[in-house]
Amino acid sequence: MREINETKPEELLIFERSRPGRIGYSLPECDVPAVPKEELVPPEMLRREGLSFPEVYEVDVVRHYTALSRRNFGVDNGFYPLGSCTMKYNPKINEDVARYPGFAKIHPYQPEESLQGALELMYRLQRDLAGITGMDEVTLQPAAGAHGEWTGLMMIRAYHESRGEKRTKVIVPDSSHGTNPASAAVAGFETVTVPSNQRGMVDLDALRAAVGEDTAALMLTNPNTLGLFEQQIVQIAEIVHAAGGLLYYDGANSNAIMGITRPGDMGFDVVHLNLHKTMSTPHGGGGPGAGPVGVKKRLAPFLPEPTVVMDESGRYAIRGRRPEGAAGFASTVGTGKPSVSAGSAGSVGSIGSPGSAGSVGSDGPCVSPTSTASIGSPSPAPEGGLPGTQGSASIGRVKAYYGNFGILVRAYAYIRSLGPEGLRQVSENAVLNANYMMKRLAPYYEIPYSDQSCKHEFVMSGSGLVQYGIRTLDVAKRLLDFGYHPPTIYFPLNVEECIMIEPTETESKETLDGFIDCMIAIAKEAETNPGLLLNAPYTTPVTRLDETGAARKPVLNCACG
């Protein structure tokens, strides 16, 4: 188990390092005629007082920001067990590929003839993601998971409106991610919450009571946020579809099911994936991310534009409304369109067969691999053109240009590096790691729904420590002293004193054991020396903060004297 370093270094703000007259960098002399600022800037926009920048030497600036960077926490310097965040290691080969000049130094306004490699990658990625999820078509535009949710919901809204139906409500389970009801609200829907049953899954009777003529969709994560597979997913889909609603799959927990089962085979109509989670691209610090959305064929006409397509000659093009001023753009390219078969050549669809859904075992529907063939080359589909690219039904552009292209390159490199069998192994190892941790920690923390195995993540409760005056927050603070980033706490909301842990597949048994040993030690400290936890952390630049006060009355400026 890790030793605690009790030394806490002093850290001065850059303003506190400032001394009058010190210069860190001198600008070269101006080599063009000077123009008075009054001639360039309106008087009302001129600053009347000088900027109060810190005055420091260059070496002080470098050391200050280098020290701050070392206090950042990421997957490259430690275990990151945030539940429902899939903080897996980001393979560096993905970074190398994304930096190839042909990817890193292109511009979206270039002629399509000079972008064929990039367009081919995007097209192939669309098909691979369609195969992985069991969808028919995919858009790569959304920049994040919540953005993907909103995009999917706007397509659902457009679909219902095209049928002359006014459906105003989106159903979410009580264990849903907070972005689900938020995205529904932004898309113009009301939300209805259905409770979980005693096994932590959607209560079917409550769902039947909630659906009606005003139901637009049910948003669901499977496995759910408790880390449990919704074993009655087939019945859930039937209930929602019978009411005329659609089923939306929040792909936040897709790391548990790749190559094992697919949302499209479970009955979902719309899917978003977090490439910055499941497909190992970097995330955190506000981005960049990517949240592609896949849809079944009936929703394809409402996909955002533009879309990358391939014609019969093998040429790739951008179909739909391209940015004004872009060179070499044609609104139509032959009659080709991407294949609407999720299992077609050139997709990871060979992992599963769309027709094999519905076999329900102890852990719910399972799609057995029908082929382990390597991912092939893309092929054009039947004639007729991609639905919705004439501008009549598409919800329009949802992101500048064509999405976060650099992130798409990284995700494509990850998928192609692993192949169908590798993706399945990713999910199997993620599930194995989570169950191993849950079993080892069960004697020390309460495990809700302990009569069943978890998937890629699991929840514990710190409620057993409350008798010693210790809460989950205290456990999380104490973990900082051992050098670990705490897991997700107090979410999902339907577990008291919740601790949610997701180890991912990229961590070794030694790493898992080190974290587990610290969690066990903290549980014992809570019983024998609770004051130690109540005042933790001891080794961080700042100790216990007034988090409520910081949220309600934030101080966002420095008043250093």
Residue 212 sits in a domain of what CATH number?
3.40.640.10
In a domain, 222, yes or no: yes
Average pLDDT taken over every residue of the chain: 86
pLDDT band at 71 (very low <50, low <70, confident <90, very high): confident
User: What pLDDT digit, counting tens, does each position of 136-189 carry?
Assistant: 999 999 999 999 999 999 999 999 999 999 999 999 999 898 899 999 999 999
In a domain, 52, yes or no: no
Range of 300's domain? 92-319+400-411
Determine which of 122-136, 294-308, 347-361 has the lowest per-residue pLDDT on average: 347-361
Greater pLDDT, 561 or 440: 440
Determine which of 63-77, 142-156, 231-245, 345-359 has the lowest per-residue pLDDT on average: 345-359
Could you tell me how many residues make up the chain?
561
pLDDT band at 558 (very low <50, low <70, confident <90, very high): low
DSSP character for 355? G
In a domain, 130, yes or no: yes
* Spatial CA neighbour of 120 closest among 365, 311, 276, 297: 311
pLDDT score recorded for residue 322: 46
In a domain, 14, yes or no: no
> What average pLDDT does this structure show over 322-350?
36
In a domain, 124, yes or no: yes
Domain count, the chain: 1
Q: Does the pTM exceed 0.85?
A: no
Q: Which residues in 205-243 are b (16+ Cβ under 10 Å) and which e?
A: ebbeebbeebbbbbbbbbbbbbbbbbbbbbbbbebbeeb
List % helix, strand, coil for the chain (3-state, nearest 5). Answer: 35, 10, 55
In a domain, 62, yes or no: no
Give me the sign of the Cα torsion angle 381, 382, 388, 389: positive
In a domain, 3, yes or no: no
In a domain, 190, yes or no: yes
How far apart CA 166 and CA 190 sit, in angstroms, is: 12
Q: What are the CA-CA distances from residue 258 to residues 23, 222, 229, 301, 377 (Å)?
A: 55, 12, 13, 27, 20
pLDDT score recorded for residue 395: 95
User: What pLDDT digit, counting tens, does each position of 446-484 carry?
Assistant: 999 999 999 999 999 999 999 999 999 999 999 999 999
Q: What are the CA-CA distances from residue 111 to residues 122, 317, 431 (Å)?
A: 16, 10, 45
